[in-house]
Amino acid sequence: MEISGELSSRKESTVPVPSESQPTPVQITVLKAQDLKSLKSDVSVTSVCVEYNGVILGESSRTDVLPNGTADYNFTTSFECSSDGPNSLDDIAQTPLLLTVIEVFQKDKKQKDRTAPLGQAVVDLIPLLQGQCSFQVTAPLHAVSTSPSESLHPEAKGGLEVTVSTKEPLLSATQLSNSNFLSITLEAAYSIPEAFAATGSLQNYMACLEVPAAGKKELPLLFKNGILKLAGEKEPLPRPKKWPIANIMAPAALSIPNSFIVGGPYEDEDGELKKGEDREFRIQAESMKRVVWDMESRCYLDPAAVVTLQKRIAECQYWPVEVCRVSVALPSKGKTSKADKGDEEKQISFHGVAYVNMMPLLCPGVKQIRGAFRVCAYHDSEVFEKTKSQRSVFQDLGGQLSVTRVGSGTSGIGAPLNRAAPNKAQKEDKEKSINKKMSHTPKFQLPNGTGEAENVMHLNLEGQQYVEAGTFLVMEIKLYKALVPRRLREELAKQVKQMIPPRPPLPPWTSGAQKAVEDYHHHVTSIAAAILNECHELFGKQLPDQGMTDHQTLEEQKRQLNFELNSSGKYFAFKEQLKYAVVKIVREKYLKTTAFESQEQFQAFLSELYVYLMDQMHIALNQLLFEEAAPSAPPSQMTQKQLWLFAHEAQVLKDYKLASLYHQQRIAKDQYDIECWLDYGVFCLLLEETTKAHECFQQALSLDPNHIQSLLLCGITAAMLWHNEEAKVLFEDACCLEPSSVVAWTLSGLFYELQDNNIQAEMAFREAKKLLQAQLAKQRSIPEAAEGEGETVPDGSADKLTKVSEPAPVWGSKEEATAPKEEATAPEAAPKALSPGSGLGQPPCTIFMKTVEFLMKANAVQFVHKALAHELLSLQGGPSSGYYLALAQTYLLKEELSKCEECLCEAVRIDCVNPNVWAQKGHLCYLKKDFGEAKECYERTMGFMEDADDMHFVYLRLGSIYLEEKLYGRAKKIYLLACDNSASCLTWLGVGIACYRLKEMVEAEDALSEANALNNTNAEVWAYLSLICLHGGRHMEAEQCYKYVLKLGLPNDALLRELRAAQLRFGFGNPEL
């Protein structure tokens, strides 16, 4: 092949026409070629030709190839770029620089040298539109196959070192920040109609859509030359994307550098056919007959075009992508008559359209959408209704390519080409076919006015075959920058901080001179008390009536005391204990922290310090010996965990006043504890006091703005109060803070759904599902790794790993509240081990059930119902036991017992070995006063190897049933289990009652004393203590306990009658008798 003939047929470089904007020269320098010998071993002389946008910019001088395969060209050329010239910014974005290395075959002087292309390389110029003024690349050089007889290595690659530069940036700083790039990748069409089988004529498969472009109303992006592939292997992943250009002689050079189609799970796509039921169809279609493009087309969007793009997506979210098949006849050797020229054209058929939902690109931070989009028949009215597009994009191309109406319901496009003249029989058959189907053919009004418009609805029979075959396009639409930028974490944190009312600063750390002196006094009195105890052990206590001790005896006792203190080491211990207090006085009161300048100054300071310490010692001893200090209030022995348990008990027993008191006590005990504020807020949500709950969550958030549970709960209450903008900021901040939190993304999706923002809701749900799948995969890899190392995996471990649970909030489990802070706020945690028979791990966890678990602990019933509705729609094979259990709990909160019973019956039917279901059913029967059924449910719950989530109330209620049935031995055993699990006033009261009825008075009194220590306002505890004192003959104590019974008000009338009867029988205990 003669390269001179092919390259000379193209245009030579010309100076662009001057325009309003000053053209910018783009300089290209080809430095050298590398590894040319790998392309062809005997190459000796080469040159390089530079081409851009169909124009040859120049060719270098001929250069010898060195033995190592290197050729130094140092060839420089340029072209001019302007916004409205032949080389526009849009051309820079989508057209690469084409470099052709030409081999020169030198002959004698009488004959002309022969040339042939050796290799081609392409250079992407997109960095010039990203703010760079110059860049250097080593472009891969791909071999050009010219003749089978030549010793080329088509798979081998050389390289061209190229430098591209401009004197000034092509885009100003303002243009760079406000402009964008749109790239559209058309991968393939799958499940194509059977009629797409190869025929005698050439077929060109095309697709086209229009996008806003710089300086133009709309720019058509045409994808041509789709390759029809028969059934076989699937397309490999990853695979390179291709340039949309046709003048490349090396097929491998069509691949865009560093740009690949990577695919991904169907569930993560944005288009259609991504549900579970579509998976099998997609897998089969990808290995069947298909049309493959793998082509990427780019478009530069100036600031005006970016605004237009946003506006167009907002006005109409669906964009039409038209597809067709073009039949191109081969040119014939004979002449063609004028009558046959109408057939010597490209003819389109199978006119279809796919509707791409572009609305996700208006979501914050979204830069690309990718998915499968169904192809349907093209009908003008339907396209206009969905996309507001009034005409086919192929009609617009008809001004550039001749358009004819051929086939059933299609319009032909294409440039006139030579083709073989049909014979007479063929013409007649063709005319009959056209006359038969012409009534179904939509007619376009061409730009040149050669056609006539018809406003009649026509059928597109060939396009209908797309619907019957289930054809779909896989494509990707990607932006360089998001149209709506996502708010930064710093900005969100600032907005969250502004929402929270200001808090007073923490009290300063008190450590001054006064504190140092007080510490010294404390140590002196402590040591004095220890020495006094030592004296009492050596010499006994001296009573006041024994008189004064003589001086000699005192001196002897003093010597013995000194000996004892020194020999036992206690003197040294006392001195060390006092040393730190003295050091603090020196530093805080005398401000001495450096060495003394002289020995005299040091001695003077010691004298002064000694006098001061002795004076302060006397003051401390006088306060200890002669002044009786007021007794301080005993510190509260209740821990935060106990107070939370007492509040939870009161809440379940519907004593909301007492529960509120316990929550307030927890906050008063430590107002800087986040858990206390969250617990109180959750309690307020139970009472439907949403405003108060929101204030509690805000208080918790003010203590730690990075606390994920506080952010989520604050967002929930903000949404319930219709503070939508505030809720949006809080949920966004939570997702930015913990991007791996499934619950955070799911709650964000539920919130967006409340706002009718279905696009963003779907994206949030998709992100949550992706995170959950990653967690499940990680958990499944643990037993596999253990098996690989030869470790034994317990039976049922696979079932255990099917439930991955996000950690319960610290306000939901007091065991987790005692864990370190970093563990309590971790976004995800390993699941608890479940026994194989418990059924808790069945079925696999979903994002909505994980969120329901979080919301149930927060008493956010409104969000619970929305999450359960999604769970019901997403499940295959019907609802799960967990679904019915959660729904039953919501009905139980509303006291709708009949609906709760229906749900629990379904839960038991689905999973009869779940202890949580039986525990919940027992609670339902207990509230319905069906104690016999409740007892059976509770006993079954205790029979499982795995405990239910809340065994505390199972123990309490089962124990109370045993007491009613006078099974006191069983009741005592159950209540002792409850005390061991989580002791409270009610558990010890149950033990005390059972022991009292068993006549075990000593144990009963001990248990009731424990109950009284935990809660001294329980009238029933005082009543049983009074009964025990009556049996023990303790008159005063029995009467005192009875006074507290009357003061606190005993609600149990039967117990009060029993107490008064015992008082009459024993004759004391009631002052009124």
Task: Please choose, from the candidates 764, 843, 835, the residue with its C-alpha nearest in 3D space to the C-alpha of residue 803.
Answer: 843
Interval 676-696: pLDDT, tens: 999 999 999 999 999 999 999
- Distance (Å, whole) CA 905 – CA 900: 9
Separation in Å, CA 664 to CA 655, 873, 1012 = 15, 41, 21
Bigger pLDDT: 1043 or 513? 1043
Q: Rg of the Cα trace of the chain?
A: 44
- Distance (Å, whole) CA 693 – CA 719: 12
Collapsing DSSP to helix, strand or coil, 205 comes out as strand
Mean pLDDT across 596-609? 86
By the 10 Å C-beta count (0-12 exposed, 13-18 middle, 19+ buried), 473 is classed as buried
The b-or-e profile of 933-956 (16+ CB within 10 A means b, else e) is: ebbebbbbbbebebebbebbbbbb
pLDDT of residue 97: 92
pLDDT of residue 1070: 83
Per the prediction, the chain carries an average pLDDT of 79
Interval 405-444: pLDDT, tens: 333 333 333 333 333 333 444 444 434 433 433 333 333 3
Mean pLDDT across 186-214? 81
pLDDT of residue 505: 61
Interval 957-970: pLDDT, tens: 999 999 999 999 99
Interval 881-929: pLDDT, tens: 889 999 999 999 888 999 999 999 999 998 888 899 999 999 999 999 9
Peptide bond into 265 cis (omega under 30): no
pLDDT of residue 9: 37
Instruction: Give, in degrees to the nearest 5, the angle at Cα 510 between 506 and 514.
Output: 155
Mean pLDDT across 246-270? 86
pLDDT confidence bin for 560, thresholds 50/70/90 = confident
Mean pLDDT across 387-412? 54
Task: Please choose, from the candidates 767, 914, 900, 937, the residue with its C-alpha nearest in 3D space to the C-alpha of residue 843.
Answer: 914
59-63, 498-502, 522-526, 610-614: least confident range: 498-502
pLDDT of residue 543: 59
Interval 21-36: pLDDT, tens: 678 899 999 999 998 8
Does residue 385 carry a pLDDT above 80? yes
The tally of CA atoms less than 13 A away on the side-chain side of residue 483 is: 25
Does residue 875 carry a pLDDT above 60? yes
Mean pLDDT across 172-184? 89
Interval 980-1025: pLDDT, tens: 988 999 999 999 999 999 999 999 999 999 999 988 889 999 999 9
Does residue 1045 carry a pLDDT above 50? yes
What is residue 560's DSSP assignment? Answer: H
Interval 302-337: pLDDT, tens: 888 888 888 888 888 898 999 988 877 555 555 444
Separation in Å, CA 444 to CA 42, 365, 453, 774 = 57, 40, 6, 52
- Distance (Å, whole) CA 927 – CA 960: 13
Peptide bond into 843 cis (omega under 30): yes
Token couple for 2: 């003669």
In one letter, which amino acid is 1034?
A: R
Does residue 18 carry a pLDDT above 50? no
- Distance (Å, whole) CA 765 – CA 274: 14
Bigger pLDDT: 571 or 27? 27
204-208, 487-491, 654-658: least confident range: 487-491
Interval 751-784: pLDDT, tens: 999 999 888 898 899 899 989 988 888 887 766 6
DSSP 436-470: HHGGG------TTS-S---------HHHHHHHHHT
Collapsing DSSP to helix, strand or coil, 67 comes out as coil
pLDDT of residue 110: 57
- Distance (Å, whole) CA 459 – CA 479: 36
Task: Please choose, from the candidates 934, 900, 898, the residue with its C-alpha nearest in 3D space to the C-alpha of residue 918.
Answer: 934
Q: Which residues contact 665 (CB under 8 A, 6 or more apart)?
A: 638, 643
Run of H or E residues at 349: strand 347-357
- Distance (Å, whole) CA 144 – CA 156: 10
